[in-house]
Structure 1
């Protein structure tokens, strides 16, 4: 377990080969830089563990899966380099999921906003509840979902990504996310979600490891340039967050 005053990330291993990564932050499971780094490290660690057959990525609580970037931390960014470093945190998590040799199943129990949508898209398979609506709010605060866009577009396609991005203040339902391909399965409540998750992970953990590895490689074909691509996108976001428009928008959101 790794802890900090600003939330924590935990990694547990079950006897049947399921590695569960859980994260928590008191501000609706938002992700400051320290949690992004911990997630990157723990995803990599779980993928390399000799007993891991499949990885589950989840958050704690029952209302919000992930609210995306920490607005408090965004307001502390004072130069382009610091901005690029912060947004690279999301890039690193996505790339850790992409490079992991293990299939990653995301458990989306509640709303996903901004970078939270990116986390869901970075998983190989998503199980969600009907409460797991999604929103990309970046345009409303003067930036854009540039770092996560390759992962999201890969899952839902450009037309759906355009709708999600342009309608920046509107939530789309979990059923919409399923219809577009972000979620693979949607359940009425958390109890049904967890029952399905347990059943699925036990089955996956029983399959041939080399077959699962081959599937993982097929799922991520054509993404070999993402180290460079996502770093470039992080630099764009890191510059935009310094604008007066974005700073005022962030302050406005925090005052609500």
Structure 2
């Protein structure tokens, strides 16, 4: 359980992918690898027509990548591989032939915002505030930037990135395009997620797969782009300034 858990349940053509980690649903590398594998397998599974991505419990949706792993990085290759975790997940979501519905019940930080942005359609509760705090610890949201900017635009991404210590509300995220709908309660959100997923599951798989390619047009270079971004982050995390900021944050 130190590496968290990931469960996939398939019923009536709807695959529910649910992840959990005791540290606010953050992702150690192993869990990110499992999530990447899950999306790749579901993309090829003919019994699956739509995917719902969610996390366990009612608090945080996702606190991003594992802080303990981040602070332990001591060489460039390990740094790059650490940040490739979310790069691989985003690319797996991007190339997945099925529509991915995000169910965001709580706060999302860093890579958690990236996950929401890589979903094709997101439902959220009022508690689903977002923050990109990377700049405050000496790195930046380089890997997730293409996915987030694709959803909310350059101006909103700039605001979110530079104001690295402030939370933006779920309604702010909806206004910018990250969330499609925001609900007062989790139960209200879940009803709509179930209804929407069931509706999509009755649509043509061929039409959905073709639409997915159209929705993600001009992202064909992301395999290389996100790897380059992981290299940048992997280098920055080794700097003395970043190491100092990480130790301060840990305390």
**In structure 2, what is the Cα distance between the partners aligned to 1:94 and 1:222?**
15
Contact 1:105 1:127 in 2 (8 A): yes
For 1:132, the equivalent position in structure 2 comes to 128
SS of alignment partner, residue 61 of structure 2: strand
- Output aligned runs, 1:16-165, within 5 Å: 16-165=12-161
2:236 corresponds to 1:249? no
Structure 1 position 52, deviation (Å):
0.3
Structure 1 position 76, deviation (Å):
1.1
TM-score (structure 2 length as normaliser): 0.99
- Runs of 4+ aligned structure 1 residues displaced above 2 Å come to none
Structure 1 position 248, deviation (Å):
1.8
Tell me how large the CA RMSD over aligned residues is. Answer: 0.7
**In structure 2, what is the Cα distance between the partners aligned to 1:9 and 1:231?**
24
Paired residues in the alignment total: 251
Contact 1:56 1:105 in 2 (8 A): yes
SS of alignment partner, residue 100 of structure 2: strand
Unaligned regions of 5+ residues in structure 2, if any?
A: none
Contact 1:136 1:165 in 2 (8 A): yes
Contact 1:47 1:55 in 2 (8 A): no
**In structure 1, what is the Cα distance between the partners aligned to 2:97 and 2:108?**
25
Unaligned regions of 5+ residues in structure 1, if any?
A: none
Structure 1 position 247, deviation (Å):
1.4
**In structure 1, what is the Cα distance between the partners aligned to 2:61 and 2:130?**
10
Deviation string 1:201-252 (CA, Å, 9 cap, x unpaired) is 0000011111111111111000000000000000000000111221122222
1:183 to 179, 183, 186: 179
Contact 1:105 1:126 in 2 (8 A): yes
